[in-house]
Amino acid sequence: MQDLMQDIPLTLDRIIDHAARWHGGREIVSRDAEGRVSRTTYAEAHGRAKQVSNALMAEGIARGDCVATMGWNGYRHFEAWYGTIGIGAVLHTLNPRLFPEQIVYIVNHAEDRLILADRACKPLIDQLLPQCPTVEKVIYLDEAFDAWIAPHSAECAWGGFGERTAAGLCYTSGTTGNPKGVLYGHRSNYLHCMMTLQADALALSARDTVLLVVPMYHANAWGVVYSAPAVGAKLVLPGQRMDGASIHELLETEGVTYSAAVPTVWQMLLTHLKETNGRLSTLQRVTIGGSAAPESLIRTFHDDYGVDVVQGWGMTETSPLATVSVPDAEVAKLSFEEQVPYKLKQGRLLCGLDLKLADDAGDPLPHDGRTFGRLMIKGPTIAAGYFKAEGGQVLDEEGFFDTGDVSTIDPDGYMQITDRAKDVIKSGGEWISSIEVENIAIGHPAAELCAVIGVAHPKWDERPILLVKLKPGQTATRDDFLEFLDGKIARWWTPDDVVFVDDIPLGATGKIDKKLIRQRMQGYALPFPVEPAR
């Protein structure tokens, strides 16, 4: 028997159509590289996005063609986004922080025909273009963009294609080998938007003012580029300036209630607030992803500013959000102090997805909160393969995707990342969570950044060492950090050495670049053999 529901394709143009019709006067606030603030609305952005569509078609762009963007979060980027996907073209977001040779590879692999870019990216674009033969034109997201769309009508027929039509293309950061493309469909991104809007996820509403700090070039800005207009939330786009003072200014002047970013952004904000005795008068909650949130950050937000921190986990291949550390009914009854161990986990699964743990042979492992295993995931928002079949078959026989993370899952469904598989430290046959040690060490008042890697040991195969970048003007010793860690981690997890460094490198998405750290530490040898307590 057939159902009697209307068969309407789940295409993403419907999201901005809805925002324009039912939340048309809601503001989109945008700051440019010079600090100037512009204001538009969903209704105005909708009309300009249709002008973008007409301009693209005048350039010969058709369904399935790749249009690249290279820029920070601004209203023109937002309009270019919806103008591209509305006609069935593929929006390919380029990360300007990647190495130039990686960007050249990505542009050529995607066969991008146009690039819409921030003017600040022009030196990089000029360097890349001679090596990118498929690119026919570059339009900069300033007055040149306005002039490009100005002759075109704000009326354009969107949609008219199937919901499984490709919508977006985002490449992994390529820490090993060439970056691989993840091709999102309209249906998968639409479903992801609906999944993340539930109360036990991002919980956005028309009453929120959202500061979208996470870059639009980073996995669909964690889906907020869709979820904010879907509910009519006021959207604040901060542009290129991500320092603590600039973020704080927008939070206060625009009455922001919700924001999302990687931990390093929030560390800069909290440092600024402490130095200036600043306050957060409207901010209620933040989502932290990209890497695990340190306990010290969660506590400072809660204790000093009354802001709730919710961790989210995902990756380019998961659209990206997949788990969120919101409390279930039993955890919600606990005091904040008792909830902290759960807040330090990456959380519980969104509806529609499934998780499992597996050993290196692919056999299932228990969800007991103690057993480490490879984290596997499946669902309608999870990649089934990479663009142009790069990487071959990526699913196991049950259809699960190997995330490359090593994790635990407790009996109540709370998942916790313990390491990337390539970063895991195996000492005496047992795994040590470098992430957990880092997130405790960063709580030391002298620490600005911390990283833990494994180094060779004659007896235990590997032992952890802690690298520390101190805050300006701070001093500390090896013993200071070891004493700080004592009692907070298993004794045999204690680093065998503490190395003070001038810099801890971050990758293109703000995560600690352990591959580069290991390269820098080649030739390092432990100063003395240590027998870890077991």
**Cα(6)–Cα(505) distance, rounded to whole angstroms?**
52
Residue type, 475: T
Q: Do 324 and 355 form a contact (C-beta atoms < 8 A)?
A: no
Rounded distance between C-alpha atoms, residue 175 and residue 98, angstroms: 10
| Residue numbers annotated as active site | 172, 317, 426, 431
CA distance 238 to 252: 13
**DSSP codes of every residue in 486-522:** BTTB-GGGS-S-EEE-S---B-TTSSB-HHHHHHHTT
Contact between residue 284 and residue 203 where contact means Cβ atoms under 8 Å apart:
no
Q: Helix or strand or coil: residue 530?
A: coil
CA distance 503 to 511: 14
Q: Tell me the C-alpha distance between 347 and 322, whole Å.
A: 9
Kindly report the number of other CB atoms within 10 A of residue 265's CB atom: 22
- Could you give the angle at the alpha carbon of 218 between the alpha carbons of 440 and 520, nearest 5°? 50
Please state the φ and ψ torsions of residue 18, each to the nearest 5 degrees: -65, -45
Instruction: State residue 462 phi and psi, 5-degree precision.
Output: -140, 150
The C-alpha angle with vertex 43 and arms to 256 and 138, in degrees rounded to 5, equals 90
Q: Would you say 11 and 159 are in contact if contact means Cβ atoms under 8 Å apart? A: yes
292: DSSP letter = P
Q: What Cα–Cα distance (Å) separates residue 354 from each residue in 164, 185, 300, 366, 376? A: 21, 20, 33, 15, 8
Per the document, the length of the chain is 534
Rg (CA), the chain: 23
Q: How many CB atoms lie within 10 A of CB 176?
A: 10
Of 523, 518, 530, 521, the closest CA to residue 459 belongs to 530
CA–CA separation, 180 and 515 (whole Å): 18
User: How far apart are alpha carbons 242 and 244 in whole angstroms?
Assistant: 7
Alpha carbon distance 82, 6 (integer Å): 25
